[in-house]
Structure 1
Amino acid sequence: MTKIKLLSAAIIAGSTFAASQAALAYEAGDVLVRGGIAKVNPEGDAEGMLSNENGFVGSLGFMVHDKLAISLGAGEEFEHEFDQDAYSGKFEQQPFDLMVQYYPLGGLDSRIQPYAGVGANYTRFSSESDGLSIDNTWAPKGELGVDLMVTENLALNGFASYTNLDADYSLNGVSNEADIDPIIVGGGVTFSF
């Protein structure tokens, strides 16, 4: 009698585990809401000239297929201080992204959901110091990330992205172009429903 109870408990536990795994898969029609903290590291011409900054980022995505999502993301305004040719100043940049993301394990029973994305970034510049003017700009962007499922609706998220950002600017009446090329690394949470 004890063996039958033990076997029944094992079957129920195994069934529950299998069902919980199936519930952890991303599928077509799912909505993904991400939020977290990121560090922005300017590269290119701006490396060493612009300060690194931390801030909040987030996105809203929709799974159009088990393995494919469209995502709209944004970050808070990141303030950068800089020194160039005896000129010290500051400005703020705010990124907006439209991405297509590929989930190689989408639709599969997996607690780990890596993804890769490509898309377009629009960066709005504001609060420039006197004598500085930076044009808002469009740029290509790529990203890599991973979600580690905690429950069927909650995951821990980690990501890194690169934007090939060339910004036209004017400093004391002299126009030029700067390669800012931010690398953003961050983490947070993903809610899916």
Structure 2
Amino acid sequence: MKLLKTLLASAVAVSAMPALAYEAGDIIVKAGIVNVNPKEDSGVDGLTVKDDTQLGLTLTYMVAPQIGVEVLAATPFKHGIELNGNRVATTKHLPPTVSAQYYLMDPASKLQPYVGLGVNHTFFFEEDGAVNHLGKSWGLSYSAGLNYDLGDNLLANVAVWKMDIDSEADTALGELDVEIDPLVFMVGAGMKF
């Protein structure tokens, strides 16, 4: 019984601790592992773009307690390009994305789910193999995520983006329209300043 009372008292104390309240002017920096997973159907029969995982960073500026502007950046992603299961090319890309975010909970909540809408600009480089060049892409980005307050201005984060990335590939067979449209996943940690 004493153990039960101690656990109950601890739970009440933890729930009463002040949370990482978001305020206008706050800056939230997060780093973590990011996976870019292109959709299976690229729009070209038999052509697939493989996924890659890199280090990702986000910077969010809170313009109001429940509204933020986020920039997503990462180290370059390298993707294998396969035709009917055989690797025919590789490429690297960077997909910087700027999003407006809305935080759904009270700004003082320890749990902060959010949704976002933004613009993605992807550029490709270091193509080799059967692809001579992939054109730049502009597209919409939809996102959702969750921050969890760990105390001392630290937080844990999971997030997902759906990006509209379409490119024109210059190949030996001529110009091909390629739809990459990946899901992007991030697991990381961050700090609020």
Q: Does 1:164 align with 2:164?
A: yes
Deviation at 1:34, TM superposition (A): 1.1
Name the structure 1 match of 2:149: 149
Structure 1 residues 104 and 174 mapped into 2: Cα distance closer, same or farther (>3 Å)?
same
Structure 1 residues 64 and 50 mapped into 2: Cα distance closer, same or farther (>3 Å)?
same
Note the alpha carbon deviations across 1:121-150, whole angstroms, 9 max, x for none.
011101101442101111100110001110
Name the structure 2 match of 1:120: 119
Q: Does 1:41 align with 2:37?
A: yes
Note the alpha carbon deviations across 1:4-52, whole angstroms, 9 max, x for none.
xxxxxx9xx96x974x42x521111111101110111100533971211
8 Å CA contact retained: 1:44, 1:179:
no
8 Å CA contact retained: 2:32, 2:189:
yes
Distance in 2, matches of 1:72 and 1:106, equals 23
Secondary structure at the aligned position of 1:26 is classed as: coil
Secondary structure at the aligned position of 2:124 is classed as: strand
Deviation at 1:168, TM superposition (A): 1.3
Distance in 1, matches of 2:186 and 2:63, equals 25
Identity %: 27
Distance in 2, matches of 1:150 and 1:144, equals 20
Secondary structure at the aligned position of 2:41 is classed as: helix
Task: Give the helix-richer structure, 1 or 2.
Answer: 1
8 Å CA contact retained: 1:27, 1:106:
no
Task: Give the strand-richer structure, 1 or 2.
Answer: 2
Tell me the amino acid that sits aligned with residue 89 of structure 1. Answer: A
| TM-score, normalization by structure 1 | 0.84
Note the alpha carbon deviations across 1:157-177, whole angstroms, 9 max, x for none.
001110011111111160121
Name the structure 1 match of 2:21: 25
Question: Which of structure 1's runs of 4+ aligned residues deviate more than 3 A?
Answer: none
Structure 1 residues 174 and 127 mapped into 2: Cα distance closer, same or farther (>3 Å)?
same
Deviation at 1:84, TM superposition (A): 2.2
> Structure 1, unaligned stretches of length 5 or more?
1-9
Tell me the amino acid that sits aligned with residue 179 of structure 1. Answer: E
8 Å CA contact retained: 1:45, 1:178:
no
Alignment of 1:169-188 (within 5 A): 169-172=169-172, 174-188=174-188
